[in-house]
Amino acid sequence: MIPASFPEKSEIARLTARMLLEIKAVHFNAREPFTLASGLPSPTYIDCRKLISYPRIRSTLMDFLTVTVMRDAGFEAFDNIAGGETAGIPFAAMVAERMALPMTYVRKKPKGYGRNARIEGAMTEGQRVLLVEDLTTDGGSKLSFVDAIRETGATCGHTAVIFYYGIFPETEKTLGDHGVRLHHLCTWWDVLAEAKAQGAFDRETLDGVEAFLNDPRAWQEAHKG
């Protein structure tokens, strides 16, 4: 169950960033940018999936995520915790355990045989569902999961993630227009601040990352190809 006392949001953000840096889930490289799933370049990359291999860190972050949701949405706000395939599944299971609620997961698309289901587990009409994933960039991928949940007759007005990019201003509007509120632990700005405090990367790298965070679309356009 959840301990009774937790840090304030700013300290949760700092500690989350510190943990992500500690396990080397954060990658910065302004000279040789990463290619994102969108095909666009980025000097930043984060791998939240690594968290499942670090028991002390994953337990602490799941405590943080659970208490963040309860503080922001309510202590009795949900009836079911759903994970998004695939990265959200382990985190949804851990949050569901802490909240003593049923856990389900949502496929990216119907499985193509048998029941052709997108929802695995027991989700029923009228249940209030929290969608849990590892991260969000612009919020777009969450909408399909939310729609699949709503097709069961359940409601889904909240999604919780460990990491939120926090650099694309349209993200919360995209989700909000779909009736979904975002809860998160930290953003790239929190990671950059902690990386600077630790001296985790050289100055040139940090300056390049900061330039990207301040205007990601322009940075990507300038670094295409």
Q: Which helix (H) or strand (E) holds 146?
A: helix 140-150
Q: Report if residue 127 sits inside a domain.
A: yes
d(CA 81, CA 102): 6
DSSP 215: S
Query: Does residue 2 belong to any structural domain of this protein?
Result: no
Distance between CA atoms of residues 139 and 159, nearest Å = 10
How is residue 17 written in tokens? Answer: 């960033």
- Residue 37 pLDDT: 74
Say what the pLDDT of residue 10 is.
97
What range does the domain containing 69 cover? 9-219
Binding-site positions for orotate: 137
Domain count, the chain: 1
The burial class, CB within 10 Å (0-12 / 13-18 / 19+), for 196 is middle
* Residue 54 exposed, middle or buried by CB count within 10 Å (0-12, 13-18, 19+): middle
- 177, amino acid identity: D
Q: Is residue 1 part of a domain?
A: no
Position 225 in a domain: no
- For tokens 């889930």, the residue is 25
pTM, to two decimals? 0.94
Binding site listing: 107-108, 111, 133-141
Give the number of other Cβ atoms within 10 Å of residue 76's Cβ.
9
Q: Report pLDDT for 2.
A: 65
pLDDT of residue 6: 85
What CATH number corresponds to the domain at position 56?
Answer: 3.40.50.2020
Tell me the binding residues for 5-phospho-alpha-D-ribose 1-diphosphate.
Answer: 107-108, 111, 133-141
Interstrand relation of 34-35 and 41-42 (parallel, antiparallel or unpaired):
antiparallel
**pLDDT value, residue 111:** 72
Mean pLDDT by 10 residues, the chain (225 residues): 77 98 96 85 95 97 96 96 97 97 94 77 97 91 94 97 94 94 98 97 95 94 85
- In a domain, residue 202? The reply is yes
* DSSP conformation letters of 77-121: --SEEEEETTTHHHHHHHHHHHHT--EEEE-SS--SSTT--SEES
